[in-house]
Protein backbone atom coordinates (compact mmCIF):
# COMPACT_ATOMS: atom_id res chain seq x y z
CA UNK A 1 0.00 0.00 0.00
CA UNK A 2 2.82 2.36 0.87
CA UNK A 3 4.53 1.59 -2.40
CA UNK A 4 1.35 2.41 -4.30
CA UNK A 5 1.15 5.81 -2.57
CA UNK A 6 4.73 6.55 -3.46
CA UNK A 7 4.12 5.63 -7.08
CA UNK A 8 1.01 7.84 -7.17
CA UNK A 9 2.92 10.84 -5.78
CA UNK A 10 5.68 10.31 -8.32
CA UNK A 11 3.13 10.23 -11.12
CA UNK A 12 1.57 13.49 -9.88
CA UNK A 13 4.95 15.18 -9.69
CA UNK A 14 5.78 13.95 -13.15
CA UNK A 15 2.46 15.25 -14.50
CA UNK A 16 2.93 18.63 -12.82
CA UNK A 17 6.40 18.94 -14.28
CA UNK A 18 4.97 18.61 -17.80
CA UNK A 19 2.21 21.23 -17.30
CA UNK A 20 2.70 24.76 -18.63
CA UNK A 21 1.54 28.05 -17.14
CA UNK A 22 1.44 31.70 -18.14
CA UNK A 23 4.94 32.11 -16.73
CA UNK A 24 6.21 29.85 -19.52
CA UNK A 25 5.00 32.23 -22.27
CA UNK A 26 7.96 33.85 -24.08
CA UNK A 27 8.42 37.49 -23.19
CA UNK A 28 8.09 38.62 -26.81
CA UNK A 29 4.66 36.97 -27.02
CA UNK A 30 3.62 38.39 -23.65
CA UNK A 31 4.66 41.86 -24.82
CA UNK A 32 2.58 41.41 -27.99
CA UNK A 33 -0.48 40.45 -25.91
CA UNK A 34 -0.04 43.54 -23.73
CA UNK A 35 -0.18 45.82 -26.79
CA UNK A 36 -3.91 45.01 -27.03
CA UNK A 37 -4.58 46.53 -23.59
CA UNK A 38 -5.27 50.28 -23.38
CA UNK A 39 -2.35 52.12 -21.80
CA UNK A 40 -4.35 53.05 -18.70
CA UNK A 41 -5.30 51.32 -15.44
CA UNK A 42 -5.44 47.68 -16.52
CA UNK A 43 -2.13 47.66 -18.36
CA UNK A 44 -0.41 49.56 -15.56
CA UNK A 45 -1.77 47.09 -13.01
CA UNK A 46 -0.07 44.27 -14.92
CA UNK A 47 3.27 45.75 -13.86
CA UNK A 48 2.55 44.72 -10.27
CA UNK A 49 2.48 40.96 -11.01
CA UNK A 50 6.22 40.34 -11.25
CA UNK A 51 9.43 41.79 -12.64
CA UNK A 52 9.00 39.95 -15.92
CA UNK A 53 5.54 41.41 -16.46
CA UNK A 54 6.76 44.87 -15.48
CA UNK A 55 9.49 44.62 -18.09
CA UNK A 56 7.04 43.40 -20.74
CA UNK A 57 4.51 46.14 -19.93
CA UNK A 58 7.15 48.85 -20.27
CA UNK A 59 8.25 47.37 -23.60
CA UNK A 60 4.62 47.16 -24.79
CA UNK A 61 4.04 50.83 -23.93
CA UNK A 62 7.13 51.89 -25.88
CA UNK A 63 6.09 49.70 -28.80
CA UNK A 64 2.64 51.28 -28.76
CA UNK A 65 4.08 54.80 -28.81
CA UNK A 66 6.42 53.97 -31.68
CA UNK A 67 3.82 52.21 -33.81
CA UNK A 68 1.22 54.91 -33.15
CA UNK A 69 3.56 57.61 -34.46
CA UNK A 70 4.42 55.45 -37.47
CA UNK A 71 0.71 54.94 -38.13
CA UNK A 72 0.11 58.71 -38.09
CA UNK A 73 2.95 59.30 -40.54
CA UNK A 74 1.90 56.48 -42.86
CA UNK A 75 -1.81 57.24 -42.67
CA UNK A 76 -2.75 53.71 -41.56
CA UNK A 77 -5.02 53.83 -38.50
CA UNK A 78 -7.69 51.49 -37.18
CA UNK A 79 -10.87 53.15 -35.88
CA UNK A 80 -13.28 51.67 -33.33
CA UNK A 81 -16.69 53.10 -32.30
CA UNK A 82 -18.00 52.90 -28.72
CA UNK A 83 -21.67 53.35 -27.77
CA UNK A 84 -22.40 53.29 -24.02
CA UNK A 85 -25.73 51.78 -22.99
CA UNK A 86 -25.19 50.82 -19.33
CA UNK A 87 -25.01 53.45 -16.57
CA UNK A 88 -25.18 57.22 -17.05
CA UNK A 89 -24.68 58.44 -20.58
CA UNK A 90 -23.74 61.87 -21.85
CA UNK A 91 -26.11 63.74 -24.14
CA UNK A 92 -25.21 64.20 -27.76
CA UNK A 93 -23.36 67.48 -28.28
CA UNK A 94 -20.92 69.41 -30.43
CA UNK A 95 -18.61 72.43 -29.99
CA UNK A 96 -17.79 71.15 -26.48
CA UNK A 97 -14.46 71.33 -24.61
CA UNK A 98 -12.36 68.25 -23.99
CA UNK A 99 -9.02 67.19 -22.48
CA UNK A 100 -7.30 64.11 -21.04
CA UNK A 101 -6.01 63.64 -17.48
CA UNK A 102 -4.76 60.42 -15.86
CA UNK A 103 -6.53 58.10 -18.30
CA UNK A 104 -9.81 60.03 -18.01
CA UNK A 105 -11.32 62.25 -20.71
CA UNK A 106 -13.02 65.43 -19.42
CA UNK A 107 -15.93 66.95 -21.39
CA UNK A 108 -17.29 70.42 -20.58
CA UNK A 109 -20.21 72.32 -22.09
CA UNK A 110 -21.14 72.08 -25.73
CA UNK A 111 -24.18 72.69 -27.86
CA UNK A 112 -27.37 70.65 -28.23
CA UNK A 113 -29.31 69.75 -31.32
CA UNK A 114 -31.66 72.66 -30.44
CA UNK A 115 -28.66 75.07 -30.40
CA UNK A 116 -28.76 75.61 -26.63
CA UNK A 117 -25.56 75.30 -24.58
CA UNK A 118 -24.45 73.15 -21.62
CA UNK A 119 -22.26 73.99 -18.63
CA UNK A 120 -22.02 70.43 -17.27
CA UNK A 121 -18.80 68.46 -16.70
CA UNK A 122 -18.51 64.77 -17.67
CA UNK A 123 -15.68 62.23 -17.59
CA UNK A 124 -15.09 59.16 -19.78
CA UNK A 125 -12.93 56.40 -18.27
CA UNK A 126 -10.79 55.21 -21.17
CA UNK A 127 -9.88 52.00 -19.35
CA UNK A 128 -13.47 50.95 -18.54
CA UNK A 129 -15.07 52.82 -21.49
CA UNK A 130 -17.63 54.29 -19.10
CA UNK A 131 -19.19 57.75 -18.58
CA UNK A 132 -19.26 59.39 -15.11
CA UNK A 133 -20.63 62.80 -14.06
CA UNK A 134 -18.49 64.12 -11.15
CA UNK A 135 -19.82 66.35 -8.37
CA UNK A 136 -17.95 69.68 -8.38
CA UNK A 137 -18.15 72.91 -6.35
CA UNK A 138 -17.47 76.59 -6.92
CA UNK A 139 -18.98 78.92 -9.47
CA UNK A 140 -19.57 77.15 -12.74
CA UNK A 141 -18.65 78.99 -15.94
CA UNK A 142 -21.79 80.01 -17.82
CA UNK A 143 -23.10 77.60 -20.46
CA UNK A 144 -20.59 77.64 -23.28
CA UNK A 145 -19.92 76.21 -26.71
CA UNK A 146 -16.92 76.30 -29.06
CA UNK A 147 -14.46 76.75 -26.18
CA UNK A 148 -11.25 74.72 -25.74
CA UNK A 149 -10.02 72.88 -22.66
CA UNK A 150 -6.48 71.62 -21.92
CA UNK A 151 -4.73 70.20 -18.87
CA UNK A 152 -1.91 72.30 -17.39
CA UNK A 153 -0.16 70.86 -14.33
CA UNK A 154 -2.95 70.41 -11.76
CA UNK A 155 -5.50 72.54 -13.58
CA UNK A 156 -7.70 72.73 -16.66
CA UNK A 157 -7.35 75.80 -18.91
CA UNK A 158 -10.54 76.93 -20.69
CA UNK A 159 -10.16 79.56 -23.42
CA UNK A 160 -12.45 81.23 -25.91
CA UNK A 161 -16.15 80.71 -25.43
CA UNK A 162 -19.43 81.25 -27.15
CA UNK A 163 -22.06 82.45 -24.69
CA UNK A 164 -25.67 82.14 -25.83
CA UNK A 165 -26.97 85.58 -24.87
CA UNK A 166 -30.18 85.30 -26.88
CA UNK A 167 -31.87 82.86 -29.16
CA UNK A 168 -29.75 81.95 -32.21
CA UNK A 169 -27.04 84.46 -31.22
CA UNK A 170 -23.54 83.41 -30.10
CA UNK A 171 -20.93 85.90 -28.90
CA UNK A 172 -17.20 84.98 -29.16
CA UNK A 173 -14.83 85.70 -26.28
CA UNK A 174 -11.12 85.62 -25.39
CA UNK A 175 -11.54 84.93 -21.66
CA UNK A 176 -9.39 82.36 -19.84
CA UNK A 177 -10.90 80.15 -17.10
CA UNK A 178 -8.96 77.79 -14.80
CA UNK A 179 -10.33 74.66 -13.08
CA UNK A 180 -8.32 73.29 -10.11
CA UNK A 181 -8.32 69.51 -9.59
CA UNK A 182 -7.38 69.66 -5.90
CA UNK A 183 -10.27 71.83 -4.73
CA UNK A 184 -12.59 71.21 -7.73
CA UNK A 185 -13.12 74.94 -8.23
CA UNK A 186 -13.36 77.34 -11.20
CA UNK A 187 -11.76 80.82 -11.40
CA UNK A 188 -11.35 83.50 -14.08
CA UNK A 189 -7.73 84.33 -15.08
CA UNK A 190 -7.04 88.00 -15.87
CA UNK A 191 -4.39 88.79 -18.54
CA UNK A 192 -3.26 92.36 -19.23
CA UNK A 193 -1.15 91.79 -22.40
CA UNK A 194 -2.60 92.11 -25.94
CA UNK A 195 -4.98 89.23 -26.51
CA UNK A 196 -6.13 87.27 -29.57
CA UNK A 197 -9.34 88.49 -31.16
CA UNK A 198 -12.40 86.97 -29.45
CA UNK A 199 -13.29 83.66 -31.06
CA UNK A 200 -14.82 80.23 -30.84
CA UNK A 201 -14.45 77.02 -32.85
CA UNK A 202 -10.65 77.11 -32.40
CA UNK A 203 -8.11 74.50 -31.21
CA UNK A 204 -5.80 74.54 -28.19
CA UNK A 205 -2.77 72.37 -27.31
CA UNK A 206 -0.13 72.37 -24.56
CA UNK A 207 3.47 72.89 -25.73
CA UNK A 208 5.18 72.46 -22.35
CA UNK A 209 4.62 73.35 -18.69
CA UNK A 210 4.68 77.09 -19.46
CA UNK A 211 3.21 77.46 -22.96
CA UNK A 212 -0.12 76.81 -24.72
CA UNK A 213 -0.98 77.26 -28.42
CA UNK A 214 -4.29 78.49 -29.88
CA UNK A 215 -5.19 77.74 -33.53
CA UNK A 216 -7.75 79.37 -35.82
CA UNK A 217 -11.41 79.71 -34.97
CA UNK A 218 -14.24 82.06 -35.87
CA UNK A 219 -14.84 85.60 -34.63
CA UNK A 220 -18.27 86.15 -36.13
CA UNK A 221 -19.81 86.76 -39.56
CA UNK A 222 -17.14 86.41 -42.28
CA UNK A 223 -14.35 86.21 -39.65
CA UNK A 224 -12.68 82.80 -40.00
CA UNK A 225 -9.17 82.73 -38.49
CA UNK A 226 -6.10 80.73 -39.54
CA UNK A 227 -3.74 82.39 -37.05
CA UNK A 228 -1.71 80.84 -34.22
CA UNK A 229 -1.23 82.39 -30.75
CA UNK A 230 1.13 81.41 -27.92
CA UNK A 231 0.03 81.79 -24.28
CA UNK A 232 2.94 81.82 -21.82
CA UNK A 233 1.99 80.89 -18.26
CA UNK A 234 4.59 82.41 -15.96
CA UNK A 235 4.20 82.26 -12.20
CA UNK A 236 3.55 86.00 -11.89
CA UNK A 237 2.03 87.01 -15.24
CA UNK A 238 0.42 85.34 -18.25
CA UNK A 239 1.15 86.81 -21.72
CA UNK A 240 -0.03 86.31 -25.33
CA UNK A 241 2.12 86.33 -28.54
CA UNK A 242 1.10 85.81 -32.18
CA UNK A 243 3.12 83.16 -34.08
CA UNK A 244 4.16 83.21 -37.75
CA UNK A 245 2.62 80.44 -39.90
CA UNK A 246 4.62 79.03 -42.83
CA UNK A 247 3.42 76.70 -45.57
CA UNK A 248 4.71 75.24 -48.80
CA UNK A 249 4.38 77.24 -52.00
CA UNK A 250 1.25 76.52 -53.96
CA UNK A 251 -0.85 75.62 -50.91
CA UNK A 252 -3.52 78.07 -49.72
CA UNK A 253 -3.77 78.93 -46.05
CA UNK A 254 -5.93 76.18 -44.54
CA UNK A 255 -9.10 77.15 -42.70
CA UNK A 256 -8.79 75.32 -39.37
CA UNK A 257 -11.83 76.73 -37.62
CA UNK A 258 -14.42 74.20 -36.46
CA UNK A 259 -11.94 71.30 -36.98
CA UNK A 260 -10.38 70.54 -33.57
CA UNK A 261 -6.78 69.38 -33.29
CA UNK A 262 -4.53 67.45 -30.91
CA UNK A 263 -0.77 67.33 -30.29
CA UNK A 264 1.44 64.27 -30.75
CA UNK A 265 5.01 65.19 -29.76
CA UNK A 266 5.98 68.14 -31.99
CA UNK A 267 3.13 67.60 -34.47
CA UNK A 268 -0.41 68.95 -34.28
CA UNK A 269 -2.95 66.62 -35.90
CA UNK A 270 -6.11 67.92 -37.58
CA UNK A 271 -8.90 65.82 -39.08
CA UNK A 272 -10.56 67.32 -42.15
CA UNK A 273 -12.71 66.24 -45.06
CA UNK A 274 -9.86 66.97 -47.42
CA UNK A 275 -6.19 67.46 -46.75
CA UNK A 276 -5.24 71.04 -45.92
CA UNK A 277 -7.65 72.77 -48.32
CA UNK A 278 -11.14 73.79 -47.14
CA UNK A 279 -13.34 76.23 -48.99
CA UNK A 280 -15.22 78.92 -47.14
CA UNK A 281 -18.55 77.67 -48.46
CA UNK A 282 -17.97 74.18 -46.99
CA UNK A 283 -17.98 75.66 -43.50
CA UNK A 284 -21.59 76.84 -43.77
CA UNK A 285 -23.30 73.46 -43.63
CA UNK A 286 -24.65 73.15 -40.09
CA UNK A 287 -27.07 75.56 -38.41
CA UNK A 288 -24.48 76.43 -35.76
CA UNK A 289 -21.84 77.39 -38.31
CA UNK A 290 -24.31 79.27 -40.50
CA UNK A 291 -25.02 81.56 -37.54
CA UNK A 292 -21.35 82.55 -37.51
CA UNK A 293 -20.84 82.90 -41.26
CA UNK A 294 -24.12 84.27 -42.60
CA UNK A 295 -25.59 87.68 -41.91
CA UNK A 296 -29.06 88.02 -40.46
CA UNK A 297 -30.64 89.16 -43.72
CA UNK A 298 -29.75 85.84 -45.33
CA UNK A 299 -31.97 82.85 -44.74
CA UNK A 300 -31.02 79.17 -45.16
CA UNK A 301 -33.21 79.14 -48.27
CA UNK A 302 -31.43 82.04 -49.97
CA UNK A 303 -28.44 80.02 -51.11
CA UNK A 304 -28.20 80.19 -54.88
CA UNK A 305 -28.61 76.92 -56.74
CA UNK A 306 -27.43 75.95 -60.20
CA UNK A 307 -29.97 76.10 -62.97
CA UNK A 308 -29.94 72.32 -63.32
CA UNK A 309 -31.06 71.92 -59.74
CA UNK A 310 -33.82 74.44 -60.24
CA UNK A 311 -35.01 72.60 -63.30
CA UNK A 312 -35.19 69.36 -61.36
CA UNK A 313 -37.52 70.97 -58.87
CA UNK A 314 -40.03 72.15 -61.45
CA UNK A 315 -43.43 70.36 -61.36
CA UNK A 316 -43.47 67.51 -63.82
CA UNK A 317 -46.10 67.38 -66.59
CA UNK A 318 -48.85 64.83 -66.27
CA UNK A 319 -49.00 61.69 -68.36
CA UNK A 320 -51.62 63.22 -70.64
CA UNK A 321 -49.55 66.38 -71.04
CA UNK A 322 -46.46 64.35 -71.92
CA UNK A 323 -48.49 62.51 -74.53
CA UNK A 324 -49.73 65.80 -75.94
CA UNK A 325 -46.18 67.15 -76.08
CA UNK A 326 -44.88 64.05 -77.81
CA UNK A 327 -47.85 63.87 -80.15
CA UNK A 328 -47.79 67.56 -80.88
CA UNK A 329 -51.47 67.96 -80.02
CA UNK A 330 -52.58 71.59 -80.01
CA UNK A 331 -55.73 73.51 -80.65
CA UNK A 332 -54.64 74.02 -84.23
CA UNK A 333 -55.44 71.31 -86.74
CA UNK A 334 -52.63 69.58 -88.55
CA UNK A 335 -52.08 70.76 -92.09
CA UNK A 336 -49.76 67.94 -93.14
CA UNK A 337 -51.25 65.37 -95.49
CA UNK A 338 -49.69 62.41 -93.63
CA UNK A 339 -50.72 63.59 -90.15
CA UNK A 340 -52.68 60.41 -89.35
CA UNK A 341 -49.70 58.20 -90.22
CA UNK A 342 -47.32 60.35 -88.13
CA UNK A 343 -49.68 60.24 -85.17
CA UNK A 344 -49.75 56.45 -85.30
CA UNK A 345 -45.95 56.30 -85.31
CA UNK A 346 -45.78 58.72 -82.38
CA UNK A 347 -48.21 56.59 -80.37
CA UNK A 348 -46.05 53.53 -80.94
CA UNK A 349 -42.95 55.47 -79.93
CA UNK A 350 -44.67 56.70 -76.77
CA UNK A 351 -45.65 53.16 -75.76
CA UNK A 352 -42.05 52.01 -76.19
CA UNK A 353 -40.72 54.90 -74.12
CA UNK A 354 -43.16 54.25 -71.28
CA UNK A 355 -42.23 50.56 -71.24
CA UNK A 356 -38.55 51.47 -71.15
CA UNK A 357 -39.08 53.88 -68.25
CA UNK A 358 -40.91 51.20 -66.26
CA UNK A 359 -38.02 48.78 -66.78
CA UNK A 360 -35.45 51.32 -65.68
CA UNK A 361 -37.47 52.28 -62.61
CA UNK A 362 -37.86 48.64 -61.57
CA UNK A 363 -34.09 48.14 -61.75
CA UNK A 364 -33.39 51.42 -59.87
CA UNK A 365 -31.38 52.58 -62.86
CA UNK A 366 -32.88 56.09 -62.78
CA UNK A 367 -35.17 58.14 -60.60
CA UNK A 368 -37.70 60.48 -62.13
CA UNK A 369 -37.13 63.88 -60.53
CA UNK A 370 -40.01 65.18 -58.42
CA UNK A 371 -40.35 67.90 -55.85
CA UNK A 372 -40.38 65.48 -52.90
CA UNK A 373 -37.55 63.19 -53.93
CA UNK A 374 -34.04 64.06 -52.76
CA UNK A 375 -30.77 62.57 -54.05
CA UNK A 376 -28.95 60.19 -51.75
CA UNK A 377 -26.34 62.15 -49.84
CA UNK A 378 -22.86 60.73 -50.26
CA UNK A 379 -20.76 59.99 -47.19
CA UNK A 380 -17.44 61.75 -46.78
CA UNK A 381 -14.80 60.68 -44.29
CA UNK A 382 -12.14 62.45 -42.28
CA UNK A 383 -8.46 62.62 -43.25
CA UNK A 384 -5.30 63.83 -41.54
CA UNK A 385 -3.24 67.01 -42.00
CA UNK A 386 -0.22 67.94 -39.90
CA UNK A 387 1.20 71.19 -38.45
CA UNK A 388 4.86 71.06 -37.34
CA UNK A 389 5.41 73.14 -34.16
CA UNK A 390 8.96 72.10 -33.21
CA UNK A 391 10.29 75.64 -33.89
CA UNK A 392 7.50 77.55 -32.15
CA UNK A 393 9.58 78.44 -29.07
CA UNK A 394 13.05 78.79 -30.61
CA UNK A 395 12.18 80.16 -34.05
CA UNK A 396 8.83 81.76 -33.35
CA UNK A 397 7.04 80.03 -36.24
CA UNK A 398 5.09 76.90 -37.16
CA UNK A 399 4.92 75.10 -40.52
CA UNK A 400 2.25 73.14 -42.38
CA UNK A 401 3.47 69.82 -43.78
CA UNK A 402 2.33 68.24 -47.03
CA UNK A 403 0.86 64.80 -46.49
CA UNK A 404 0.43 62.51 -49.48
CA UNK A 405 -1.38 59.72 -47.63
CA UNK A 406 -4.63 60.31 -45.80
CA UNK A 407 -6.19 58.56 -42.83
CA UNK A 408 -9.71 57.27 -43.41
CA UNK A 409 -11.56 57.97 -40.18
CA UNK A 410 -15.20 58.39 -39.15
CA UNK A 411 -17.78 60.11 -41.29
CA UNK A 412 -17.09 63.82 -41.66
CA UNK A 413 -18.09 65.90 -38.64
CA UNK A 414 -17.64 69.43 -37.38
CA UNK A 415 -16.99 70.77 -33.89
CA UNK A 416 -16.05 67.40 -32.39
CA UNK A 417 -13.29 66.88 -29.81
CA UNK A 418 -9.98 65.11 -30.45
CA UNK A 419 -7.44 64.12 -27.78
CA UNK A 420 -4.36 61.86 -28.00
CA UNK A 421 -3.10 59.22 -25.59
CA UNK A 422 0.29 57.54 -25.82
CA UNK A 423 -0.99 55.19 -28.54
CA UNK A 424 -4.52 56.33 -29.47
CA UNK A 425 -6.60 59.18 -30.86
CA UNK A 426 -9.92 59.69 -29.05
CA UNK A 427 -12.67 61.54 -30.90
CA UNK A 428 -16.04 62.38 -29.32
CA UNK A 429 -19.28 64.04 -30.39
CA UNK A 430 -19.67 66.53 -33.19
CA UNK A 431 -22.30 67.43 -35.75
CA UNK A 432 -22.60 65.71 -39.11
CA UNK A 433 -24.87 65.57 -42.13
CA UNK A 434 -27.80 63.20 -42.06
CA UNK A 435 -27.33 60.85 -45.02
CA UNK A 436 -30.86 59.50 -44.79
CA UNK A 437 -32.56 60.93 -47.85
CA UNK A 438 -36.01 60.35 -46.34
CA UNK A 439 -35.23 62.20 -43.11
CA UNK A 440 -36.36 65.78 -42.57
CA UNK A 441 -33.38 66.42 -40.25
CA UNK A 442 -30.42 68.09 -41.96
CA UNK A 443 -27.81 67.57 -39.20
CA UNK A 444 -27.25 64.90 -36.57
CA UNK A 445 -25.54 65.51 -33.19
CA UNK A 446 -23.43 62.58 -31.99
CA UNK A 447 -22.48 61.16 -28.59
CA UNK A 448 -20.30 58.39 -30.03
CA UNK A 449 -16.67 57.85 -28.99
CA UNK A 450 -14.29 56.99 -31.86
CA UNK A 451 -10.84 55.61 -30.96
CA UNK A 452 -8.01 55.22 -33.49
CA UNK A 453 -4.85 53.23 -32.93
CA UNK A 454 -2.16 51.38 -34.86
CA UNK A 455 -2.71 48.03 -36.53
CA UNK A 456 -1.64 45.08 -34.36
CA UNK A 457 0.43 42.61 -36.36
CA UNK A 458 3.25 40.21 -35.56
CA UNK A 459 5.67 42.49 -37.43
CA UNK A 460 5.50 45.16 -34.72
CA UNK A 461 7.47 42.88 -32.38
CA UNK A 462 10.35 42.49 -34.80
Query: Does residue 107 belong to any structural domain of this protein?
Result: yes
Q: Are residues 260 and 409 in the same domain?
A: yes
Whether the CB-CB separation of 207 and 215 falls below 8 Å is answered with no
Residue 23 to residue 62: CA distance in whole angstroms: 22
Please give the pLDDT value at position 215. Answer: 93
Closest C-alpha among 292, 290, 164 to residue 216: 292
Using DSSP, state whether 238 is helix, strand or coil: strand
Judge if 160 and 227 occupy the same domain.
Answer: yes
In terms of pTM, does the model score above 0.85?
A: no
Please check whether residues 70 and 43 belong to one and the same domain: yes
DSSP class of 313: T
pLDDT in tens, 110-131: 888 787 888 888 999 888 888 9
Picking from 74, 90, 111, the residue at the C-terminal end of a domain is 74
Tell me whether residue 363 is in a domain.
Answer: no
Domain that holds residue 98: 78-294+378-461
CATH number for the domain spanning 288: value is 2.120.10.80
Distances (CA, A) of 385 to 289, 323, 418: 22, 56, 14
Say whether both 287 and 145 belong to one domain. Answer: yes
160 and 67 together in one domain: no
CB burial of residue 247 (10 Å; 0-12, 13-18, 19+): middle
Q: Helical H runs in 210-306?
A: 287-293
- pLDDT over threshold 60, residue 315: no
Query: How far does Cα 211 stand from its chain's mean position?
Result: 25
Residues 257 and 195 reside in one and the same domain? yes
pLDDT score at 437: 52
User: 382 φ, ψ to 5°?
Assistant: -80, 150
Mean pLDDT, the chain, rounded, equals 73
What does the pLDDT average to over 411-418?
Answer: 86
Domain boundary among 74, 107, 134: 74
* pLDDT for position 116: 81
pLDDT, tens digit (0-9, with 9 covering 90-100), for 47-71:
888 888 889 989 988 888 888 888 8
For residues 37 and 153, state if they share a domain: no
Q: Are residues 387 and 265 in the same domain?
A: yes
Range 445-450 average pLDDT: 88
Distance CA 405, CA 212 (A): 29
- CATH number, domain at 66? 1.20.1280
Domain count, the chain: 2
Asked if residue 100 is part of any domain, the answer here is: yes
- What is the Cα Rg of the chain in Å? 31
Listed in sequence order, the residues at least 6 apart from 334 whose beta carbon sits closer than 8 Å to its beta carbon are: 328
Parallel, antiparallel or unpaired: strands 261-264 and 176-180: unpaired
- Assess whether 408 and 422 both reside in one domain: yes
Q: Which of 322, 368, 366 is nearest to 347 (CA)?
A: 322
pLDDT of residue 35: 85
Residues 122 and 139 in one domain: yes
In a shared domain, residues 62 and 109: no
pLDDT above 90 for 97: no
Asked if 394 and 286 sit in the same domain, the reply is yes
Q: Which of 131, 36, 133 is nearest to 428 (CA)?
A: 131
Domain boundary among 30, 47, 74: 74
Amino acid sequence: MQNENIEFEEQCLSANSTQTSITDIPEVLLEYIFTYLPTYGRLLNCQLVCKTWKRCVEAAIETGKREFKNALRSGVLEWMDYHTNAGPNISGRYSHSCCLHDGVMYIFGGCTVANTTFNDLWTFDLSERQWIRPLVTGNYPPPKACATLVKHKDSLILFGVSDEVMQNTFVPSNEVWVFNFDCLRWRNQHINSPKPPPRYGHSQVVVDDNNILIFGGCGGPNMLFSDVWLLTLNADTWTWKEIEVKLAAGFPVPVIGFNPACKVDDLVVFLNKSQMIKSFESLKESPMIRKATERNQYSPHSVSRPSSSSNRLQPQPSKQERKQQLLGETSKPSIRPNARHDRQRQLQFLDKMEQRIKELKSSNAIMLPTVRQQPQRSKEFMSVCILDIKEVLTGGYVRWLTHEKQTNGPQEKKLYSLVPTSSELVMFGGIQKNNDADSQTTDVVSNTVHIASFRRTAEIMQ
